[in-house]
Protein backbone atom coordinates (compact mmCIF):
# COMPACT_ATOMS: atom_id res chain seq x y z
CA UNK A 1 0.00 0.00 0.00
CA UNK A 2 1.41 3.46 -0.92
CA UNK A 3 2.37 5.58 2.07
CA UNK A 4 1.90 9.34 2.18
CA UNK A 5 3.98 11.61 4.38
CA UNK A 6 2.86 14.72 6.20
CA UNK A 7 6.16 16.54 5.72
CA UNK A 8 8.21 17.33 2.65
CA UNK A 9 11.46 15.41 2.29
CA UNK A 10 14.85 16.57 0.97
CA UNK A 11 16.22 15.10 -2.24
CA UNK A 12 19.10 12.61 -2.02
CA UNK A 13 22.33 12.56 -4.05
CA UNK A 14 25.71 10.85 -3.99
CA UNK A 15 29.11 12.48 -4.65
CA UNK A 16 32.35 10.59 -5.30
CA UNK A 17 35.93 11.56 -4.43
CA UNK A 18 38.35 9.45 -6.45
CA UNK A 19 42.03 9.80 -5.61
CA UNK A 20 44.66 8.66 -8.09
CA UNK A 21 48.45 8.78 -8.18
CA UNK A 22 50.93 9.39 -10.99
CA UNK A 23 54.54 10.54 -11.21
CA UNK A 24 53.48 14.11 -10.42
CA UNK A 25 51.65 13.23 -7.20
CA UNK A 26 48.16 12.69 -5.81
CA UNK A 27 45.23 13.71 -8.00
CA UNK A 28 41.43 13.82 -7.85
CA UNK A 29 38.88 13.10 -10.57
CA UNK A 30 36.65 16.04 -11.55
CA UNK A 31 33.92 16.56 -14.15
CA UNK A 32 32.85 19.81 -15.80
CA UNK A 33 29.13 20.31 -15.38
CA UNK A 34 27.19 20.45 -18.63
CA UNK A 35 23.99 21.87 -17.16
CA UNK A 36 22.72 24.31 -14.57
CA UNK A 37 23.25 24.96 -11.77
CA UNK A 38 26.96 25.76 -12.05
CA UNK A 39 27.10 24.95 -15.74
CA UNK A 40 30.73 24.97 -16.89
CA UNK A 41 32.09 24.65 -13.33
CA UNK A 42 34.21 21.72 -12.21
CA UNK A 43 32.70 19.34 -9.66
CA UNK A 44 32.99 15.90 -8.13
CA UNK A 45 31.19 13.15 -10.04
CA UNK A 46 27.75 12.48 -8.61
CA UNK A 47 24.03 12.86 -9.03
CA UNK A 48 20.57 12.06 -7.72
CA UNK A 49 19.70 8.67 -6.25
CA UNK A 50 16.85 6.94 -8.05
CA UNK A 51 13.84 5.54 -6.18
CA UNK A 52 14.62 1.97 -5.16
CA UNK A 53 18.35 2.36 -5.85
CA UNK A 54 20.99 1.50 -3.25
CA UNK A 55 23.40 4.31 -2.41
CA UNK A 56 26.51 2.44 -3.50
CA UNK A 57 24.84 1.44 -6.76
CA UNK A 58 23.95 5.08 -7.38
CA UNK A 59 27.56 6.14 -6.78
CA UNK A 60 28.89 3.45 -9.14
CA UNK A 61 26.32 4.40 -11.80
CA UNK A 62 27.15 8.11 -11.62
CA UNK A 63 30.88 7.43 -11.92
CA UNK A 64 30.34 5.36 -15.03
CA UNK A 65 27.79 7.74 -16.57
CA UNK A 66 29.70 10.96 -15.92
CA UNK A 67 33.32 9.88 -16.25
CA UNK A 68 33.37 6.40 -17.77
CA UNK A 69 34.94 4.96 -14.60
CA UNK A 70 33.80 1.58 -13.30
CA UNK A 71 34.90 -1.32 -11.13
CA UNK A 72 36.27 0.76 -8.25
CA UNK A 73 35.92 -0.04 -4.57
CA UNK A 74 34.11 2.81 -2.82
CA UNK A 75 33.95 3.56 0.89
CA UNK A 76 31.28 5.78 2.41
CA UNK A 77 32.80 9.03 3.62
CA UNK A 78 30.29 11.39 5.22
CA UNK A 79 26.81 12.88 4.79
CA UNK A 80 26.46 16.54 3.84
CA UNK A 81 23.05 18.11 4.51
CA UNK A 82 23.27 21.88 4.78
CA UNK A 83 19.90 23.10 3.43
CA UNK A 84 21.65 25.75 1.32
CA UNK A 85 24.29 23.53 -0.29
CA UNK A 86 22.28 23.21 -3.55
CA UNK A 87 20.49 26.23 -5.07
CA UNK A 88 17.73 24.06 -6.56
CA UNK A 89 16.28 22.64 -3.35
CA UNK A 90 17.20 21.02 -0.06
CA UNK A 91 19.55 18.20 -1.13
CA UNK A 92 21.34 15.77 1.16
CA UNK A 93 24.45 14.17 -0.31
CA UNK A 94 26.10 10.94 0.82
CA UNK A 95 29.76 11.15 -0.21
CA UNK A 96 31.99 8.21 -1.12
CA UNK A 97 35.73 8.07 -1.69
CA UNK A 98 38.11 5.64 -3.33
CA UNK A 99 41.75 5.08 -4.21
CA UNK A 100 42.45 4.01 -7.79
CA UNK A 101 45.41 3.39 -10.06
CA UNK A 102 45.32 6.03 -12.80
CA UNK A 103 46.74 3.57 -15.32
CA UNK A 104 43.62 1.40 -14.93
CA UNK A 105 41.01 4.12 -15.44
CA UNK A 106 40.67 6.26 -18.55
CA UNK A 107 38.09 8.99 -18.02
CA UNK A 108 35.54 10.01 -20.64
CA UNK A 109 32.88 12.66 -19.98
CA UNK A 110 29.29 11.57 -20.59
CA UNK A 111 25.63 12.41 -19.74
CA UNK A 112 25.47 15.80 -17.96
CA UNK A 113 29.28 16.25 -17.87
CA UNK A 114 30.98 18.14 -20.71
CA UNK A 115 34.51 17.18 -19.67
CA UNK A 116 36.35 15.04 -17.14
CA UNK A 117 39.93 14.77 -15.96
CA UNK A 118 42.44 14.26 -13.15
CA UNK A 119 43.59 17.35 -11.24
CA UNK A 120 46.54 17.80 -8.89
CA UNK A 121 45.40 18.50 -5.35
CA UNK A 122 47.63 21.57 -5.16
CA UNK A 123 46.25 23.06 -8.39
CA UNK A 124 42.47 22.75 -8.26
CA UNK A 125 39.89 24.98 -9.98
CA UNK A 126 36.99 26.42 -8.02
CA UNK A 127 34.40 23.69 -7.43
CA UNK A 128 30.60 23.74 -7.62
CA UNK A 129 28.26 23.29 -4.67
CA UNK A 130 30.11 22.41 -1.43
CA UNK A 131 32.49 20.07 -3.20
CA UNK A 132 35.59 21.82 -1.86
CA UNK A 133 34.38 20.96 1.65
CA UNK A 134 33.68 17.36 0.64
CA UNK A 135 37.16 17.07 -0.86
CA UNK A 136 38.78 18.44 2.29
CA UNK A 137 36.93 15.90 4.44
CA UNK A 138 38.09 13.12 2.09
CA UNK A 139 41.71 14.32 2.29
CA UNK A 140 41.59 14.31 6.09
CA UNK A 141 40.06 10.82 6.09
CA UNK A 142 42.86 9.61 3.85
CA UNK A 143 45.48 11.14 6.17
CA UNK A 144 43.97 9.30 9.09
CA UNK A 145 43.57 6.05 7.17
CA UNK A 146 47.28 5.62 6.45
CA UNK A 147 48.02 5.61 10.17
CA UNK A 148 45.92 2.52 10.87
CA UNK A 149 45.75 0.77 7.47
CA UNK A 150 48.35 0.30 4.74
CA UNK A 151 47.55 2.13 1.50
CA UNK A 152 49.08 1.81 -1.91
CA UNK A 153 47.70 -1.38 -3.40
CA UNK A 154 44.89 0.55 -5.08
CA UNK A 155 47.06 3.50 -6.14
CA UNK A 156 50.31 1.97 -7.35
CA UNK A 157 51.15 -0.31 -10.29
CA UNK A 158 51.96 -3.95 -9.56
CA UNK A 159 55.69 -3.19 -9.35
CA UNK A 160 57.00 0.00 -7.76
CA UNK A 161 60.08 1.46 -6.13
CA UNK A 162 60.29 2.39 -2.46
CA UNK A 163 60.83 5.99 -3.58
CA UNK A 164 57.48 5.99 -5.35
CA UNK A 165 55.78 4.48 -2.30
CA UNK A 166 57.33 7.22 -0.15
CA UNK A 167 56.12 9.90 -2.58
CA UNK A 168 52.61 8.52 -2.16
CA UNK A 169 52.75 8.83 1.62
CA UNK A 170 54.28 12.30 1.39
CA UNK A 171 51.53 13.39 -0.99
CA UNK A 172 48.81 12.17 1.37
CA UNK A 173 50.42 13.61 4.50
CA UNK A 174 51.48 16.81 2.68
CA UNK A 175 54.94 16.79 4.25
CA UNK A 176 58.35 15.23 3.59
CA UNK A 177 59.39 12.01 5.33
CA UNK A 178 62.83 10.80 6.37
CA UNK A 179 63.90 8.24 3.76
CA UNK A 180 65.72 5.83 6.07
CA UNK A 181 63.05 5.88 8.78
CA UNK A 182 60.20 5.45 6.26
CA UNK A 183 61.79 2.46 4.57
CA UNK A 184 62.65 0.79 7.85
CA UNK A 185 59.09 1.05 9.13
CA UNK A 186 57.39 -0.04 5.89
CA UNK A 187 59.68 -3.03 5.35
CA UNK A 188 59.13 -4.10 8.95
CA UNK A 189 55.38 -4.44 8.27
CA UNK A 190 56.02 -7.52 6.12
CA UNK A 191 53.66 -6.49 3.33
CA UNK A 192 56.33 -5.78 0.67
CA UNK A 193 58.05 -8.37 -1.50
CA UNK A 194 61.39 -7.49 -3.10
CA UNK A 195 61.64 -8.60 -6.73
CA UNK A 196 64.57 -9.20 -9.06
CA UNK A 197 63.41 -6.38 -11.35
CA UNK A 198 64.60 -2.77 -11.43
CA UNK A 199 63.29 0.46 -12.91
CA UNK A 200 63.63 0.92 -16.66
CA UNK A 201 64.26 3.99 -18.82
CA UNK A 202 65.39 6.23 -15.96
CA UNK A 203 68.26 8.73 -16.15
CA UNK A 204 69.46 7.97 -12.62
CA UNK A 205 70.56 4.67 -11.12
CA UNK A 206 67.68 2.21 -11.47
CA UNK A 207 66.00 1.31 -8.17
CA UNK A 208 64.89 -2.13 -7.07
CA UNK A 209 61.17 -2.81 -7.59
CA UNK A 210 58.78 -4.22 -5.00
CA UNK A 211 55.28 -5.61 -4.99
CA UNK A 212 52.69 -5.97 -2.26
CA UNK A 213 52.21 -9.35 -0.63
CA UNK A 214 48.47 -9.41 -1.28
CA UNK A 215 47.65 -11.91 1.45
CA UNK A 216 49.68 -10.07 4.10
CA UNK A 217 48.38 -6.71 2.85
CA UNK A 218 44.72 -7.78 3.03
CA UNK A 219 45.25 -9.26 6.48
CA UNK A 220 46.78 -6.02 7.77
CA UNK A 221 43.97 -3.95 6.21
CA UNK A 222 41.47 -6.12 8.10
CA UNK A 223 43.35 -6.22 11.41
CA UNK A 224 44.68 -2.66 11.33
CA UNK A 225 47.85 -1.29 12.91
CA UNK A 226 49.33 1.98 14.15
CA UNK A 227 51.99 3.54 11.96
CA UNK A 228 53.91 6.50 13.32
CA UNK A 229 55.50 8.51 10.50
Give the SS3 label for residue 14.
Answer: strand
Task: Count the domains in the chain.
Answer: 2
Q: Which residues are bridge partners to 96 per DSSP?
A: 16, 76
In a domain, 32, yes or no: yes
> Left, alpha or beta for 83 (phi > 0: left; psi -120 to 50: alpha)?
alpha
In a domain, 114, yes or no: yes
Residues 99 and 183 in one domain: no
Kindly give, in sequence order, each residue whose CB lies less than 8 Å from that of residue 151, ignoring residues fewer than 6 positions away: 99, 142, 145, 168, 172
Domain with 107 in it: 11-143
Give the SS3 label for residue 220.
Answer: helix
Asked if pLDDT for residue 125 goes beyond 80, the answer is yes
Q: Give me the mean pLDDT over the 118-143 stretch.
A: 95
Residues 133 and 177 in one domain: no
* 118 neighbors 139 (Cβ within 8 angstroms): no
Q: Which of 143, 177, 193 is the last residue of a domain?
A: 143
Residues 210 and 173 in one domain: yes
Residues 35 and 135 in one domain: yes
Q: Which residues are bridge partners to 23 per DSSP?
A: none
Separation of alpha carbons 10 and 130, rounded Å = 17
Separation of alpha carbons 163 and 183, rounded Å = 9
Banded pLDDT at 210 (limits 50, 70, 90): very high
pLDDT tens across 83-113, in order? 999 999 999 999 999 888 887 777 777 666 7
Kindly write down the DSSP assignment for every residue of 19-30, as one continuous string: EEEETTEEEEEE
Separation of alpha carbons 191 and 218, rounded Å = 9
Banded pLDDT at 155 (limits 50, 70, 90): confident
Q: Quote the pLDDT of residue 1.
A: 55
User: Residue 219's closest CA among 144, 150, 152, 145?
Assistant: 150
Separation of alpha carbons 31 and 132, rounded Å = 13
Q: Give me the mean pLDDT over the 27-36 stretch.
A: 93
In a domain, 150, yes or no: no
For the chain, what is the mean pLDDT? Answer: 90
pLDDT tens across 35-74, in order? 999 999 999 999 999 999 999 999 999 999 888 888 888 9
Amino acid sequence: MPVSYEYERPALTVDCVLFGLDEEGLKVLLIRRGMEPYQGKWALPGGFVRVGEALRNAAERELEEEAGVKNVFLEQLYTFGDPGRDPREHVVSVAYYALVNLEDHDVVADTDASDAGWFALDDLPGLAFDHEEILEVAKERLKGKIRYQPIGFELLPELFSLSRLQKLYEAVLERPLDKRNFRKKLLKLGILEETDEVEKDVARRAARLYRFDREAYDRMVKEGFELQL
